[in-house]
């Protein structure tokens, strides 16, 4: 992968170089490029350099120049290089820092007068080379500034440059939605995949602007938060191998960050210089104006430099032993991607905090989902730290105090911390919710108790540490794995087009194809698959916790059985918007379930249900469980039936009854109390599958029949409020 490296001749051979020790300066006239066009002519002979200051890190643009500040503890020599155009491989001007005048502690800093916003730059560093000790300095390789806020060019052809930019603070009274966690409905989406398909009917497909054009869909569905797969500048894009169907594969998901402060230009309509920053900001502003929060998927567990065979792009050439976890010079790989960021090191912790603050304060982001978050809690030796300093710092940071923090509470090194990650500020992707819900509806025996626990907020995971149901991010599907449609259409993965012999991706998906593998014209199979999708959606939106919906599941998107589509930047991954019409019944049901959730506060409560307690008689319990006969449920029974009664006192005067039948036969459920209105019936044809309260004419008393593999939700009329 060495072809990614941007190399140059030995030091001192570049045009216009300044030697800080001799004061010699070359001469060249050039134009600094902004947005791909010359900004103004600059006489290099008139550039001057004075000492900078060691904070903040990165570049800072002023009226009369730019300050360059970068960390390296072990470098002996540091150069900054300026480039006239993105495609240039030779700098037009280069300057070597003076270790006596331009270094304070481990920070190197200069102020260059005569340049401004839009200048393209890179660094070079020289220092010890010792693979055993972990030092990998190479003065012939140009390096990316870890704090760069914009990039231009392409890593794969050696043209990527950092761009010096102002922090963009003009937001025209942008108001953050500040959606309470109890009201959140999260939509996990890929910016490009949302609108890249030809059916998207947007003016700017595959871009930040394209996502803006889909805001009406999000609003109609009832979404109030989007969780975006990585939008940061990535290093590894082309994967260097082809699909079995031909064509080079690319890193579609983008979990290969190299520019942690920079939104990628790949999702912009125009990104020659730094105008894509404004496109990204416009997307955030438009979502906020629509009352929708923006949560970013962030990847602080590894970088795109990979293992020993990977490219030197940034951290490796700046200070490898500080930024990465090493053992005898070799990279520890808790990420499964070749390297692991050294999150136990104070400097790396500061880098991550600076990055998060920037996205919140400057880019107005509302929250973060931390990929493989267990790595953030590993110490300098790679061990899981019980009270990880970084997690506490993030939770207590004053700038980050009101943003959402969501952890993927595991990593590729064997850590699994669902239910015990980070304290009260941290919510978690609840992988146990996903697995138990899938097993129950597949008909696995003995799942009654576990399904009841997941429906009511996973108290087994969170109550012990005084956390609440809202710490559980509930999901059935996510980007990593089957879509909802594929979950009920495939018994096994079909990843052949990934070019890895179908060896990638999980083998155990807890799925069921209902008799036919893949797509079919069999009406009975398709009807059952539709019902199962409704079962999963109904379960998701009546469960305590925060629901997360995978983009496209509301309209039956398929990846053709591919459960690891990270490399499929094509119609396998893109949303086919024609499905919205073809699967209108599913969409209507999903939208209705989201609305039903928002209408019933008992489904959005933070507190766990108390059930029957010594000081609360049975008829006043906030939650009671029954079997299909109306008797107290036997939790050790293997039967796949379950019924819950939610008391009207916790639901604004309306009682709710949830009945689930995962068996292969019709089951009559004995109902408690008097008259009930059927609000949800996953086995019924529209409009009877989900109805508004005012239109719920289907009233039952005594018992209700549930078809095989179906779910019913019933409600009583709201009680009139007592006069004061």
Q: Which of 213, 319, 371, 569 is catalytic?
A: 371
Nearest-angstrom CA–CA distance, 204 and 582: 24
Nearest-angstrom CA–CA distance, 298 and 13: 39
Q: How far is CA 296 from CA 268, 365, 384, 592, in A?
A: 17, 7, 24, 27
Cis-peptide into 56, omega within 30 deg? yes
Which class for 624: exposed (0-12), middle (13-18), buried (19 or more C-beta within 10 A)?
Answer: buried
H or E element, residue 587? helix 584-599
Q: Please say whether the beta carbons of 367 and 390 come within 8 A.
A: no
Torsion angle, CA of 442/447/448/452, rounded to 10 degrees?
A: -90
- The residue ranges of DSSP E strands in 35-183, in sequence order, are 37-43, 48-51, 58-61, 65-71, 77-83, 93-96, 103-104, 107-113, 120-126, 129-130, 135-136, 151-152, 161-163
Q: How far is CA 608 from CA 85, 318, 470, in A?
A: 59, 49, 10
CA 497 to chain centre: 24
Nearest-angstrom CA–CA distance, 12 and 77: 12
H or E element, residue 623? strand 623-626
Nearest-angstrom CA–CA distance, 149 and 168: 10
- The residue ranges of DSSP E strands in 425-510, in sequence order, are 426-429, 472-475
Catalytic annotation present for 408: yes
Q: Which of 408, 480, 553, 627 is catalytic?
A: 408
CA angle 303-306-312, nearest 5°? 85
Nearest-angstrom CA–CA distance, 42 and 439: 67
Which sequence positions are flagged as catalytic?
371, 408
């Amino acid at each position: 992968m060495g072809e990614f490296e941007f190399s140059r001749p030995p030091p001192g051979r570049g045009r216009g170089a300044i030697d800080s020790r001799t004061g010699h300066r070359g001469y060249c006239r050039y134009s600094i490029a902004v947005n791909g066009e010359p900004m103004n002519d600059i006489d290099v002979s008139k550039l001057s350099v004075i000492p900078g200051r060691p904070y903040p890190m990165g570049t800072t643009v002023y009226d009369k120049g730019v300050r360059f500040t970068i960390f390296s503890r072990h470098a002996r020599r540091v150069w900054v290089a300026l480039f006239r155009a993105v495609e240039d491989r030779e700098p037009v001007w280069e300057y070597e820092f003076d270790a006596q005048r331009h270094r304070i502690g481990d920070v190197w800093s200069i102020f260059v007068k005569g340049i401004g916003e839009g200048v393209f730059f890179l660094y070079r560093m020289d220092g010890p080379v010792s693979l055993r000790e972990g030092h990998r300095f190479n003065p012939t390789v140009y390096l990316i500034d870890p704090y760069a806020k914009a990039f231009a060019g392409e890593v794969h052809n050696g043209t990527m440059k950092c761009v010096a930019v102002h922090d963009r603070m003009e937001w025209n009274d942008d108001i953050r939605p500040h959606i309470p966690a109890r009201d959140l409905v999260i939509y996990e989406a890929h910016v490009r995949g949302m609108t890249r398909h030809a059916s998207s009917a947007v003016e700017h497909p595959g871009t930040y602007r394209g996502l803006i054009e889909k805001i009406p869909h999000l609003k109609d569905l009832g979404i109030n938060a989007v969780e975006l797969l990585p939008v940061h500048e990535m290093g590894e894009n082309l994967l260097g191998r082809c699909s079995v169907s031909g064509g080079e594969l690319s890193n579609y998901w983008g979990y290969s960050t190299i520019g942690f402060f920079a939104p990628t230009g790949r999702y912009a309509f125009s990104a020659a210089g730094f105008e894509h920053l404004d496109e990204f900001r416009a997307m955030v502003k438009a979502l906020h104006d629509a009352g929708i929060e923006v949560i970013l998927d962030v990847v602080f567990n590894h970088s795109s430099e990979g293992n020993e065979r990977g490219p030197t792009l940034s951290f490796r050439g700046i200070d490898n032993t500080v930024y990465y976890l090493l053992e005898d010079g070799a990279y520890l790989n808790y990420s499964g991607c070749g390297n692991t960021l050294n999150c136990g090191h104070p400097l790396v912790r500061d880098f991550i905090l600076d990055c998060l603050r920037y996205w919140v304060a400057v880019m107005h982001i509302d929250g973060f989902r931390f990929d493989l978050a267990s790595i953030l809690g590993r110490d300098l030796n790679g061990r899981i730290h019980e009270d990880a300093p970084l997690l506490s710092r993030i939770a207590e940071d004053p700038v980050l105090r009101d943003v959402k923090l969501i952890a993927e509470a595991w990593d590729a090194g064997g850590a699994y911390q669902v239910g015990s990650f980070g304290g009260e500020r941290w919510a978690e992707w609840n992988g146990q919710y996903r697995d138990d819900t899938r097993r129950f509806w597949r008909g696995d025996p003995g799942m009654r108790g576990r399904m009841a626990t997941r429906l009511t907020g996973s108290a087994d995971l969170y109550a012990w540490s005084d956390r609440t149901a809202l710490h559980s991010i509930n999901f059935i599907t996510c980007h990593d794995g089957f879509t909802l449609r594929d979950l009920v259409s495939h018994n096994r993965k079909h990843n052949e087009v990934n070019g890895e012999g179908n060896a990638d991706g999980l083998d155990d998906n807890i799925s069921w194809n209902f008799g036919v593998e893949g797509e079919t014209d069999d009406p009975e199979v398709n009807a059952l698959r539709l019902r199962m999708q409704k079962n999963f959606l109904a379960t998701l939106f009546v469960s305590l916790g925060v629901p997360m919906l995978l983009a496209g599941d509301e309209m039956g998107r398929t990846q053709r059985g591919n459960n690891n589509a990270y490399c499929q930047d094509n119609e396998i991954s893109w949303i086919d918007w024609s499905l919205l019409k073809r699967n209108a019944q599913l969409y209507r049901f999903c939208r209705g379930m989201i609305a039903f959730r928002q209408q019933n506060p008992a489904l959005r409560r933070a507190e766990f249900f108390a059930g029957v307690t010594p000081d609360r008689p049975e008829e006043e319990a906030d939650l009671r469980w029954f079997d299909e006969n109306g008797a107290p449920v036997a939790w050790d029974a293997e039967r796949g039936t379950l019924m819950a009664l939610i008391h009207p006192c916790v639901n604004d005067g309306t009682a709710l009854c949830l009945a689930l039948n995962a068996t292969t036969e019709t089951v009559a459920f004995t109902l408690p109390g008097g008259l009930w209105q059927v609000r949800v019936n996953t086995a019924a044809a529209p409009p009877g599958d989900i109805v508004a309260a005012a239109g719920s004419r289907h009233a039952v008393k005594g018992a209700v029949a549930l078809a095989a593999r179906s779910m019913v939700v019933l409600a009583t009329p709201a009680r009139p409020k007592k006069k004061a």
